Structure 1
Amino acid sequence: MPQQNRQPTADDIRRLLAELDPASIWRPVLGPDGERIAAAGDGREIPELDEYIGNLDLAGKTVADLGCNLGYFAFLAKRRGAVRTLGLDIDPDVIRVASAIARLHVAPDVTFLACDFLRDVPDAPCDLAMLIDFIGRRIIAKGRVRAVVAAARNWASREIFFTLRPVYALEDLPIDQAGLERLYPGFIRDDAFYLAEFVAHELGTEWALTCLPNCSFALSPTQRRYKAALLFTKIPD
């Protein structure tokens, strides 16, 4: 591991990445010049990933990236104008490498913390919390969507941003319909689970929902598309 008192090199980061389980590297890892240090991830190309938050106004805001992994979107938020970004992930080994990547980028305003953000409550929230593809099949089947929404509310003072699949066909989920109806009563219909509607319901009427446009994303929380970009804005008292 590179010494803490010197800036790591790209080769240092490659060595650190090689020590991680490949399954724990969710997104590409870029150097300060945009060079791809690691190509691991889910196969999406950089322009497509950047479009995830392409219509999100981050200028002048503090941002919490919940489930940040190695910080792809935390660094992107900083490049898009955030004054400070905090990446949170439960895996301390991943956070150790993300922190080294921040030193490689000479990005003191991008910091990382290993914590269980579903349980831990911050001393002070950020302006915006973002959860990029965090809610998926396993979290749905385990009945943890409610806890995720509560955590997002804890870490954000003004805005919450999700990318998620707005509607899941029941056949795509590893849980039977009866189990889903026990976990999410009122949101199972037409052989589907309406995830985006459930998230909006859990946040309540204090938060206004906007579906941010993208050429391939859903335009409403009930549209059956692969992905939706949902921005919830807290309504002033």
Structure 2
Amino acid sequence: MSTRIQTVFAKGRPAFVAYIMGGDPDALTSQRIMNALPGAGVDIIELGFPFTDPMADGPVIEEAGIRSRKAGTTLASILDMARTFRRDDDTTPIIVMGYANPVYQMGYAAFSERAAEAGIDGAIIVDLPPEEDGPLRAEMDARGLSLIRLATPTTDAERLPKVVSGSSGFVYYVSMTGVTGAALAQGGSVAEQVTRVRDAAHLPVVVGFGVKTTERASQIAKEADGVVVGTAIVKALHEDGEEAALDLVRALADATHTAR
């Protein structure tokens, strides 16, 4: 039986993946946005959970995490968001994304069990390298959850097999060296890297960490299996409100889906 993630990539078109920071600016608004994402064209939801030391986050996501924590968001309440979402949507994959410390504090077994029960499909833990994610991956594997690894422009040919060997669902290609929302690498180099990672992993490859416009989403979607946008959506929600954020999501999703 196919997983939710596999079903998305079996559609034969580039997948649009939208990141939001759970609990930003508050629980009710964040839940409304999450619930509306599939109707706006989102294929996979990346649901961020806040952390005090977000080393890979640019200022927009970092500030969203601060707002979320001030609103009282915890990893447990992020899982509750997924549980609420699943009351009406049992098909859209949900990937939680964040840092290892909150997961470690909850306990790897408890996190994996509670995530599976809430309807989570996988996790991206940005600061947990392959050498250290074995205990978490074992707990997630036992419950049918995907631990999604990150490959970067600096992941060389010697390290790439180790990075992709433990990934499942898809591989997230970080398209630049830097924090979220920074400048994206040139299109040609991204295309070459996507091919390299895909050949090594035998998994779909999605590209994120710098896609901000419909034009760039379309360009990347011509080569990759999926496109991730986070910073632009989080910024639109904060500066312009829910409808503006969802309008942007619709435009990005359409540009991704029609790229090829």
Shorter-normalised TM-score: what interval?
0.3 to 0.5
Higher RCO, Cα 8 Å, sep 6+: 2
Larger Rg: 1
TM-score by length of 1: 0.37
**Which structure has more helix as a fraction of its residues?**
2
**Which structure has more strand as a fraction of its residues?**
1
